Amino acid sequence: MPSTPVAPPAYRGTFRTDLPARAAYSEGAGPYRIVPAGVAIPADLDDVVRIVAAANSDGWSLIPRGAGSGIPGHNVGEGIVVDLCRLTDPLTVADGLAVVGAAVTWQALDRLASDHGLRLPPNPSSGAFCTVGGMVATNAAGARSVRYGSIRPWVAGLEVVTGTGDVIHLVRGHHESRPRQDVQPVVARFADRVHPRITQAADTIARRFPRTRKNSAGYALDAYLASGDLLDLLVGSEGTLGIVTQVHLRLAPVPAAVGGLLIGVDRIERLGELVGGLLLLEPAALELLDTTFLALAGFQGADALPGMDAVLLVDFETESLAELEAVLDRAATLAGPRALIQQALTKDEHDRLWQIRHAASPALARLPDTTRSLQIVEDGCVPVEHLGRYLSGVRAIADAVSIDVVAFGHAGDGHVHVNALVDTTDTSLAARLRELLERVTNLVLDLGGTPSGEHGDGRLRAGAVSRMYGDEVLELFRLVKETFDPRGVLNPGVILGGPDDPVDRLKVGPQAVPIPEAVASALRGLERRAEWGQSRLELLGESNPR
């Protein structure tokens, strides 16, 4: 990396190397603080190509970035952060298909799609600010994933700038196992060198990939084998294979009726059985709120059901109100008479029901400065039948290392988010977090799960990829990486790992890298308000930062 990078010729966007600008991009929503060497905000696709070409010629590394709301550290790094916030055009919806620039937010897409009676079913809780490009890069999901899956099957086409600076266009269903004259060179190389190796390893891939309802660890060789579509490998690749600049998405009709239940769970060991029964009713969402979450959120409804260990928030989407009432009755019967806390049939009732699911973030934002929420073991996903064992195990490990945790997540997928609540003045913090991560990773793998359910590996979980998949699959991952990014300029250390300690370079604690106090305070305020869509340069008080 040159000591002072400079913008490439004909580049029209913003390019900054001053410390305040670099510090503003040193953090994302996750636990890290890494000050980059520079910040690039490309004006358009051509600028993205210029930045990638310069990275190859000058020895830079690039960290593609959307809103910065990703958790495991794929949006921070020592190279040039490439903020894609200007890639907002076009935004069109026609014939059940949306075409959007990478920087369009889920919320903006949802508002436009709703005018056509449509929606994108995957709905991450960060939808107000997360970008479609970021969703594709991480294979994002959300509460409705239990019925509709992650974003991968909804992606109909991609425009991507590869690590070689080539612009490729991938369309679902248009693929070849061998190169043709009109195929783009990188696609031809993949078909010639990588496709045969993947198909030959099909049995190993089937054996080593987890049998969980969700998995975002490594590259999706299993999805590629099932579809034959190269774009399925690009989805979830966390900016390590290419920079997504435009996305084509399938949309679905908005359901006629939506309602839900809040169900108490008296013993965490019953979770697998109860969730398994509810899944047979095909819910649209099936969320878990652990007692740790309920206490943080100040939930009062559980007072009527003393001794409950957790609650489940269950949504159903149907074609009529009568159908909705019938399925809610069946779900309530399955839960049992003591377990039903609340039922929602109207929109207002449904909105109130979901307020509890969104209550944790404001509560976390109110924590004192010496107490922070760090997402160190926040994405574990196990087979649904092992959900109770996993949650009990996480609780026991957290107690053993003396770290308070808050647990919630997507019960229908066997997927639990766990936030560690830590004392930032504790000199033993890194050691205890390291032990927490190691022991919880062992637990999730022992249960046949994945440490990365929907947020990706980033830097945090990259070290677990080789343990999870083994040498043969890891070699295929490397071959995929080398084909799209032969010089390794895109997000080094993400997915395939590097020398870093996964709990090194935290944003808090005695060893946090110092940055200008005004920038640190502004970043903390942004985190408290969860305003990840705000321009980081605006934090510096610049009136026209882009």
Task: Give the mean pLDDT of 165-173.
Answer: 94
pLDDT greater than 50 at residue 443 = yes
Task: Give the mean pLDDT of 44-55.
Answer: 97
CA–CA distance, 451 with 457 (Å, rounded to integer): 8
Coil, strand or helix: which one is 119? Answer: strand
pLDDT of residue 3: 64
pLDDT of residue 310: 87
Q: Give whole-number Cα distances, 207 to 191, 237, 471, 495, in Å.
A: 23, 21, 13, 20
Task: Give the mean pLDDT of 170-179.
Answer: 68
Prior bond of 90 cis (ω within 30°): yes
pLDDT of residue 299: 66
pLDDT of residue 503: 92
pLDDT of residue 178: 40
Task: Give the mean pLDDT of 322-345.
Answer: 88
Provide the angle, in degrees to the nearest 10, between the axes of the packed helices 429-446 and 462-484: 80
Question: Bridge partners of 62?
Answer: 80, 490
Q: Give whole-number Cα distances, 132 to 25, 270, 379, 489, 542, in Å.
A: 20, 37, 20, 23, 26
The DSSP element (H or E) to which 429 belongs, if any, is: helix 429-446
pLDDT of residue 175: 60
CA–CA distance, 142 with 409 (Å, rounded to integer): 9
pLDDT of residue 181: 46
Contact between residue 215 and residue 381 where contact means Cβ atoms under 8 Å apart: yes
pLDDT of residue 498: 73
pLDDT in tens, 491-533: 999 999 876 789 999 999 888 999 999 999 999 999 888 889 8
pLDDT greater than 70 at residue 15 = yes
**Would you place residue 26 in the very low, low, confident or very high pLDDT band (cuts 50, 70, 90)?**
very high
| Residue 63 in tokens | 């960290």
pLDDT greater than 90 at residue 347 = no
pLDDT greater than 90 at residue 124 = yes
DSSP conformational letter for 386: G
Q: Which of 140-154, 256-270, 375-389, 433-447 has the lowest mean pLDDT?
A: 256-270
Pure H helices in 243-320: 271-279, 291-297
pLDDT of residue 179: 42
Phi (first) and psi of residue 402, to 5 degrees: 60, 50
Q: Give whole-number Cα distances, 530 to 166, 364, 374, in Å.
A: 35, 10, 14
pLDDT greater than 80 at residue 302 = no
CA–CA distance, 520 with 539 (Å, rounded to integer): 10
Pure H helices in 132-201: 132-138, 145-148, 185-189, 195-200
Domains of the chain (ranges; CATH) run: 14-85+491-540 (3.30.43.10), 91-253 (3.30.465.10), 257-362 (3.30.70.2190), 369-455 (3.30.70.2740)
**pTM, two decimal places:** 0.94
pLDDT in tens, 366-403: 788 789 999 999 999 999 999 999 999 999 999 999 99
pLDDT in tens, 175-231: 644 444 456 889 999 999 999 999 999 999 999 999 999 999 999 999 999 999 999
pLDDT of residue 220: 98
pLDDT of residue 138: 96
pLDDT in tens, 140-156: 999 999 999 999 999 99
Mean of per-residue pLDDT scores for the chain: 92
First to last CA, the chain: 25
Phi (first) and psi of residue 37, to 5 degrees: -80, -20
pLDDT greater than 80 at residue 427 = yes
CA–CA distance, 476 with 482 (Å, rounded to integer): 10
